[in-house]
């Protein structure tokens, strides 16, 4: 089972917009040292929408090689074209990853039957396990519990990243799937409540900034130590909120730059660095939570 704190890793870039592979390797080491349980490479936080296929595959290969088996590596393989997602999946299936993270098709707004057919077609093309990713706030389509239950019967579909922020939703899914189906929060602000409701882990944006803390929260919750986990999470709530002051991954990338973890805050168009007012909000959140000094 895939569980614990899994960082939705940013993709660092040079001033000319090319991928900064040296900084990427350093980020992998940073997460290994912090106790992060896994990395999602080139998920939506990793700017998958604007990385062409060759770069997408190279970033995943770089993360796998740098991780050296020290933590799990999950590769984003989602697309709103089933054939494109299948192409990505086939290209990365031999890379040594532990699983794929497959977001619901965005913009198309398929039916539940269409979603099921999409995910099954992708799962059928690879031996690597697949994690579903439901984030209706970004994709305009909601993968409902009954569809998840149907897909969970597929031998290669092993979990879901559920980012609705609804605890009722995770309770509904949990009642319909097997105990070994990984339930992973995709909403940092409600992730502790998600774990308390029976979730197994979190795929986290905040973990870019606070990897040791998110790993500790997941470890404590696995041991049933809710109050200790809550004390840590309470300090992170300002980050959970303000790292979304603009569209992800704009704020978290600037936060990592401000912390000195990447040399530049560069994003691929049409995304730009955060506005000055947003930078102040992120700065204050980093100071309040203790991740930068005055």
How many helices and strands in the chain, by DSSP H and E? 12, 8
Nearest-angstrom CA–CA distance, 179 and 45: 28
Mean pLDDT, residues 243-257 taken together: 98
Domains identified in the chain and CATH numbers: 4-248 (3.20.20.70)
Mean pLDDT, residues 267-290 taken together: 98
Annotated catalytic residues are 133, 161
**pLDDT value at position 134?**
98
Nearest-angstrom CA–CA distance, 234 and 167: 18
pLDDT band at residue 44, thresholds of 50, 70 and 90? very high
The Cβ of residue 216 has, within 10 Å, a number of other Cβ atoms equal to 19
**pLDDT value at position 140?**
96
Mean pLDDT, residues 242-247 taken together: 98
Q: What tens digit of pLDDT does each residue of 201-213 get?
A: 999 999 999 999 9
Q: List the beta bridge partners of residue 6.
A: 38, 203
Mean pLDDT of the chain: 97
Question: Above 90 in pLDDT, residue 294?
Answer: no
Q: In Å, what is the CA distance from 37 to each residue of 8, 202, 222, 258? A: 12, 10, 13, 24
Contact between 130 and 75 (Cβ < 8 Å): no
Q: What tens digit of pLDDT does each residue of 145-180 get?
A: 999 999 999 999 999 999 999 999 999 999 999 999
**pLDDT value at position 233?**
98
Per-residue buried b or exposed e for 246-285, using 16+ beta carbons within 10 Å of the residue's own CB: bebbbbbbbbbbbeebbebbbbeeebebbeeebbebbbeb
45 known member of a binding site: yes
Q: What tens digit of pLDDT does each residue of 79-112 get?
A: 999 999 999 999 999 999 999 999 999 999 999 9
Preceding omega of 50 cis (within 30 degrees of 0): no
82 known member of a binding site: no
Question: Above 80 in pLDDT, residue 9?
Answer: yes
More confident call, 1 vs 65 = 65
CA contacts within 13 A on the Cβ side of 168: 1
**pLDDT value at position 293?**
87
């Amino acid at each position: 089972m895939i569980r614990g704190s899994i960082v939705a890793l940013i993709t660092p870039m040079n001033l000319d917009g090319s991928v900064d592979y040296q900084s990427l390797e350093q980020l992998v080491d940073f997460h290994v040292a912090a106790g992060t349980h896994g990395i999602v490479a080139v998920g939506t936080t990793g700017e998958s929408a604007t990385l062409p296929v060759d770069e997408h595959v190279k970033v995943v290969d770089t993360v796998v090689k740098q991780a050296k088996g020290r933590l799990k590596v999950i590769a984003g393989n989602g697309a709103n074209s089933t054939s494109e997602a299948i192409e990505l999946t086939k290209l990365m299936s031999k890379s040594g990853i532990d699983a794929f993270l497959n977001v619901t098709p965005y913009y198309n707004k398929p039916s539940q039957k269409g979603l099921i057919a999409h995910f099954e077609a992708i799962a059928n093309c690879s031996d690597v396990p697949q994690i579903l990713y439901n984030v209706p706030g970004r994709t305009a389509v909601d993968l409902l519990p009954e569809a998840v239950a149907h897909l969970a019967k597929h031998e290669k579909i092993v979990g879901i990243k559920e980012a609705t922020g609804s605890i009722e939703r995770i309770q509904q899914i949990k009642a319909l799937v097997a105990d070994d189906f990984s339930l992973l929060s995709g909403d940092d602000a409600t992730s502790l409540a998600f774990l308390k409701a029976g979730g197994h882990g979190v795929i986290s944006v905040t973990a870019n900034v606070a990897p040791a803390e998110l790993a500790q929260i997941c470890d404590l919750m696995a041991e049933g130590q809710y109050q200790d986990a809550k004390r840590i999470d309470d300090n992170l709530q300002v980050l959970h909120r303000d790292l979304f002051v603009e569209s992800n991954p704009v704020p978290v990338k600037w936060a990592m730059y401000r912390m000195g973890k990447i040399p530049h805050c560069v994003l691929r168009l049409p995304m730009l660095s955060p506005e000055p007012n947003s930078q102040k909000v992120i700065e204050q959140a980093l100071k309040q939570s203790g991740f930068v000094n005055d």
